[in-house]
Amino acid sequence: MSKFKERLGKLSPKKRLYALETLPGHLAQSVQGERLHQLLTDFDFIEAKLDAVGVQELIEDYDLARVSDVLLSEGQGESLGLIQGAIRKSAHVLDRDKTELVGQLLGRLLDFEMTDIQGLLEQAKQSKNSLWLRPLRANLERANEGALRTLVGHTDGVWAVAIAPDGKTAISASEDNTLKIWDTASGRQLRTLIGHTDPVTAVAIAPDGKRAISASWDNTLKIWDTDSGRELRTLIGHTDSVSAVTIAPDSKTVISASCDNTLKIWDTDSGRELLTLIGHTDSVWGVAIAPDGKRAISASEDNTLKIWDIESGRELTTLIGHTNYVSAVAIAPDGKTAISASDDNTIKIWDIDTGIQLRALTDYTLWVLAVAIAPDGKTAIFASRDNTLKIWDIHGGRKLTTLIGHNDEVKAVAIAPDGKTTISASNDSNLKIWDIDSDRELRTIAGNIREVYAVAIAPDGKTAISASRDRTLKIWDTDSGRELRTLTGHTDMVSAVAIAPDGKRAISGSWDKTLKIWDIDSGRKLRTLTSHTQQVWGVAIAPDSKTAISASGDKTLKVWDIDSGRKLRTLIGHTQEVFAVAISPDGLIAISASGDYNLLASADNTLKIWDINSGRELITLTGHTHSVTAVAIAPDGKQAISASRDNTLKIWDIDSGSEFRTLTGHTQGVYAVAITPDGKLAISASDDKTVKIWDLLSGKEIASFSGDGGFACCAIAADGVTVVAGDRSGRVHFLRLEGVKQLTVDS
């Protein structure tokens, strides 16, 4: 126990709260830099302040220590900046679950060798007296890399974002039919704007900051009071989805772009439609107004941009050069140039007065969905379908840096008026705030650079193998987290992997419709198994290491002889894709999980139990309301656990096929499940970015770990405590289940 915790324990609740709120400020004002540094590197203070006051107030304490009057050494200032950065990056997690503080600090700070940081982490580990998941490696985004903060609140993809003129608030628009107003300094959600009946595709804030206008697939625009969040008016006139909206500098005029091939000019005060701009021959995806308010530029699926006179509605010029549809357009602050992005994989810079193409940025090879130009007009940020943002020097035509952190395509980007901060919006349901004015190094992922879909641990627990969307498998040392070898050969994403009980061979399954058998020691490919007509989703190996079963999108399972590579039989019965398969400890039965990859719900949300030797279907398990994505069988062979996109897990009695219990707690689809060797605990991986541990006797969630991306797979080693999980940002996480002995004593 630290001296601070000891002193705090002697105070009354009222005095305790007062001390937590005021002590950092008092130390800063009285220029007690050393004491302030000691306080802010004391885990007991961090935990107590977080619990009593909240994460934002804790973050602000570190700002007090960075003022020059406190006179901290350079090393102390760096340490405090890293701790603050870690807490800020995890703020959205800690707002939801304060018990994850230790895991989040370890996951972001373990790589930093400063004495005070390592002391803090050791103190944090010692503070835990319950079961928890301890990161063995710094597999979360490090404190000094990537985005400053993540804004969480939307329940579906975020398609647009706008920053208020004062830079203090931002508004996001989402596929969940809502808009949200955020405090950009704290990341707090201030209010939700409800009124649209379909996805909200765009939002713009008036230059006076008092009103915002949103566009939606419900064919309407809505004007909102930004202070109260009240809907002021609905603009009706478009006959198809409204895809973009922009507001003129006078705050009185709005231009909308629509999939009805037109643009419309509106009066914001009356809500009256002033003009319809006709000329495009396909959907209009973007529109921007020049700083002088006299001209607008539109971007269309007809592969062109058009320049319009706003007062008359007359088409002035058509910009021709793109060979596929134009997805976005922005006008530079000087009003002389425009930048367009197209599905032809190019970005073009145009002279607005002449309509001449000035330059093409051609080494950008992926579809750009949005573009924003910095206030100084020198740089532009492009939001891309490859989950990244890229910053370019406009005049030099040179890419400066790539911002990595989102787990799905980035749909929108906005730059604050001061040019120092940008906010991105993604299909991963989140927004991220970035510091684009600093020289901080941005994260480069080690190992897989695409989603990790499957992971398996060798029987001796010393190595693990991950399967990735980048078409490779990687072999890892579980103790060091070091990548040992990369296995190449598949021609499409690798979606499944299993290691034989003898630890000598592994089998992978891929979207290239094949399975491959690998020698683990050498990494050599031994043979390729072909017979499936669609992607292979899952694979399991029998206890004798001689038989394997694969699950496929072709609605079948296939039983294979591993030594010869010969197909023994095909199991037919599912009516939709088969995502996973597990084999019982005695090797006699298999359980398969089925659903539909594309639909929101499907007809075959079932599991089936099979006799492996005969291929006969024994029982069908029904109860899930969405695709069943994974299944595991308990070591005693009596129970099975299934994971589903309906956000639940279910425990089943194998003999009777009856549902024993439903495990609830995940907030998005669950994609993997594993059972500890003693059969007492289960671990699940979900798109809600958590790995959860469950007590199977009570059905209760007893521990959780949050990552930076949705988790798609997990496995637990034979030691019952080493956990490996892969996420959609490309990381493989090595975790240890701590407190298992304490859990046994308590139970």
Can you spell out the DSSP letters for 646-712?
Answer: TS-EEEEETTT--EEEEE---SS-EEEEEE-TTSSEEEEEETTSEEEEEETTTTEEEEEEE-SS-EE
Burial of 425 (0-12, 13-18, 19+ CB in 10 A): buried
Q: Are 714 and 683 in contact (CB under 8 A)?
A: yes
Q: Are 567 and 529 in contact (CB under 8 A)?
A: yes
**Whole-number pLDDT of residue 596:** 87
**Whole-number pLDDT of residue 68:** 58
Write down the residue that tokens 């306080």 correspond to: 39
Return the DSSP state at 437.
S
Comparing CA positions, the residue from 586, 656, 584, 583 lying closest to residue 619 is 656
* CB-based contacts of 68-71 (< 8 A; 24+ apart in sequence): 69/28, 69/31, 70/28, 70/31, 70/33, 70/36, 71/31, 71/33
Q: Are 193 and 216 in contact (CB under 8 A)?
A: no
**Whole-number pLDDT of residue 97:** 94
Q: Which residues partner with 217 through β-bridges?
A: none
CA-CA distance, 509 to 505, in Å (whole number)?
Answer: 14
Give Cα separations from 580 to 469, 536, 661, 689 (angstroms).
Answer: 17, 9, 20, 21
HSE, CB side, 13 Å, CA atoms: give it for residue 384. 20
Q: Are 373 and 335 in contact (CB under 8 A)?
A: no
Q: In what helix (H) or strand (E) does residue 27 lie, and over which residues does it extend?
A: helix 13-29
**Whole-number pLDDT of residue 602:** 58
CA-CA distance, 499 to 515, in Å (whole number)?
Answer: 13
CA-CA distance, 170 to 191, in Å (whole number)?
Answer: 11
Q: What are residue 98's phi and psi, to 5 degrees?
A: -65, -20
Comparing CA positions, the residue from 487, 456, 539 lying closest to residue 722 is 456
Write down the residue that tokens 């400053």 correspond to: 148
**Low-confidence spans in the chain with pLDDT less than 70:** 1, 67-71, 363-366, 438-450, 599-602, 742-747
Q: What is the CA radius of gyration of the chain?
A: 28
Q: Are 693 and 701 in contact (CB under 8 A)?
A: yes
What six digits make up the tokens of 416?
A: 């604050």
Collapsing DSSP to helix, strand or coil, 560 comes out as: strand
Give Cα separations from 240 to 219, 220, 261 (angstroms).
Answer: 5, 9, 9
Q: Are 87 and 53 in contact (CB under 8 A)?
A: no
Q: Are 514 and 490 in contact (CB under 8 A)?
A: yes
**Whole-number pLDDT of residue 235:** 97
Beta-strand pair 132-135/473-477:
unpaired
Comparing CA positions, the residue from 630, 633, 626 lying closest to residue 647 is 626
What six digits make up the tokens of 447?
A: 């190992």
Q: Are 144 and 82 in contact (CB under 8 A)?
A: yes
pLDDT digits (tens, 9 = 90+) for 475-512: 999 988 899 999 999 999 999 999 999 999 999 999 99
**Whole-number pLDDT of residue 600:** 52
